[in-house]
Homo-oligomer: A and B are copies of this chain.
């Protein structure tokens, strides 16, 4: 059984960013937050409002003095970095990390560094794998909550492997319903000379049929179009 990864914020500076990270986590079903030496202590009054309702994540957050303690029970530590650091470790995308976390039997954590400075070399040394978001090389400016949301989002994709939330779209109408509609239109167009000259008539009919088959209208939609056609034959209201 795969387990949800733990999100570890290392030396986060602003309570607001901790709250936003919690919100990003819960949006995609992650709930376990660990904080290493938050600059302004913990709890932090700015975190709650920024969490926008993800209070459970903040309430259950655990605080540690050092990163080593925070990841003591973790078997696979991933560290996020924006830039290459010349670190000799595997570098993966958030999607690749999500896949690996999903199939792993062990406990994973994803580390995010301080807002300005990121993770330092000693912190990176604790990780087995580096996650780097493939970003615009000319403008890489991800904030903390954005980095968290991209990782959480990718992880959530593997959770259900379900297709998108499904809105039931009515199936296309059976052919005979469509034929009825097309016949009605042809009968209206015929006396107006639409199919003249005669030798083009078949091609014109085929072209209209193709155009009206393309939508894949449902039974209800076909009936609506027939109602429109019927209306068009009425006399104007006086």
Listed in ascending order, the chain A residues whose CB lies under 8 Å from chain B are 23-24, 26-29, 52-54, 84, 86-93, 95-96, 130, 132-136, 139-143, 145-146, 149-150, 153, 156-157, 160, 162-167, 169-170, 185, 188-189, 191-194, 207-208, 211, 214-218, 221, 224-225, 228, 231-232, 234-237
Cβ of A88: which chain B residues have Cβ within 8 Å of it? 167, 169-170, 218
Cβ of A92: which chain B residues have Cβ within 8 Å of it? 164
Check if B228 sits within 8 Å of A130, measured CB to CB.
no
Check if B26 sits within 8 Å of A139, measured CB to CB.
yes
Bound state CA distance, A218 and B210, in angstroms? 12
Cβ of A214: which chain B residues have Cβ within 8 Å of it? 215-217, 221
Bound state CA distance, A132 and B225, in angstroms? 29
Check if A232 sits within 8 Å of B164, measured CB to CB.
no
Tally of this chain's copies: 2
Check if A130 sits within 8 Å of B27, measured CB to CB.
no
Bound state CA distance, A208 and B228, in angstroms? 9
Cβ of A163: which chain B residues have Cβ within 8 Å of it? 93
Q: How far is the CB of A88 from chain B (nearest CB, A)?
A: 6
Bound state CA distance, A52 and B186, in angstroms? 44
Check if B189 sits within 8 Å of A136, measured CB to CB.
no
A139-B54, A142-B27 as given contacts; A217 in contact with B211, CB under 8 Å: yes
Q: How far is the CB of A24 from chain B (nearest CB, A)?
A: 7
Check if A136 sits within 8 Å of B27, measured CB to CB.
yes
A89-B169, A146-B149, A164-B92 as given contacts; A156 in contact with B139, CB under 8 Å: no
Check if B211 sits within 8 Å of A224, measured CB to CB.
yes
Q: How far is the CB of A191 from chain B (nearest CB, A)?
A: 4
A-B contact pairs, 17 of them (CB 8 A): A24-B146, A27-B139, A87-B167, A88-B169, A88-B218, A90-B167, A95-B157, A133-B153, A134-B162, A146-B149, A189-B232, A192-B236, A192-B237, A207-B224, A208-B228, A214-B215, A214-B217
Bound state CA distance, A95 and B13, in angstroms? 33
Check if B136 sits within 8 Å of A28, measured CB to CB.
yes
Our pick among B54, B156, B228 for the contact of A141 (Cβ within 8 Å) is B54
Check if B167 sits within 8 Å of A89, measured CB to CB.
yes
Bound state CA distance, A50 and B46, in angstroms? 19
Check if A164 sits within 8 Å of B236, measured CB to CB.
no
A149-B146, A192-B236, A237-B192 as given contacts; A164 in contact with B215, CB under 8 Å: no
